[in-house]
Amino acid sequence: MRIRLIAVGKRMPKWVTTAYDDYARRLPRECRLELVEIPLAKRHDGGDTARAIAAEDERMVKAIGRDDEVIALTVDGRAWSTEGLAEDLKSWMNDGRDRAILVGGPDGLGPQALAAAQQRRSLSALTLPHPLVRVIVAEQLFRAHSILIGHPYHRA
């Protein structure tokens, strides 16, 4: 099973890339994590935000695999606990179907991406910077896997 983290934005700060890569590498092959970066559409001063969202939306939908189960990360999504993610990960690994987790740009996800999602989830009631979301998702997937295998990384 593969988990694709489809995220708007490229050229992240080095600390983001380093942290994301570290956690993604720790995951085993049976639940490997891949990052798919969608270019951030240009936003001009006083420009058309709707046009930028539409461009990102189109690219994001094209990046979703044909048979992927799609999970949109949204502020109004259902809260995800670490233990809940571990249960979801266990289920995902058992069914073997690929997943796509969508992370929007500064203006959120577009309507096509939201429509493609079978689930809407929230990492926090806080507004998180989009680069940090990549790191949090990778770390939480690693933590969820450590729970499943009884690894001492998770000590709740």
Q: Look at residues 118, 132, 120, 138 and name the one whose alpha carbon lies nearest to residue 5.
A: 138
Residue pair 60/6 in contact by the 8 Å Cβ criterion:
yes
Q: 124: annotated binding-site residue?
A: yes
What DSSP assignment string belongs to 89-150? HHHHHHH---EEEEE-BTTB--HHHHHH-SEEEES-SS---HHHHHHHHHHHHHHHHHHHHT
* Dist CA 101 CA 64 (whole Å): 9
Q: 128: annotated binding-site residue?
A: yes
Helix (H, G, I), strand (E, B) or coil at 53: helix
Q: 125: annotated binding-site residue?
A: yes
* Dist CA 86 CA 4 (whole Å): 17
Q: 123: annotated binding-site residue?
A: yes
Binding residue ranges for S-adenosyl-L-methionine: 73, 104, 123-128
Cite the annotated binding site by residue number: 73, 104, 123-128
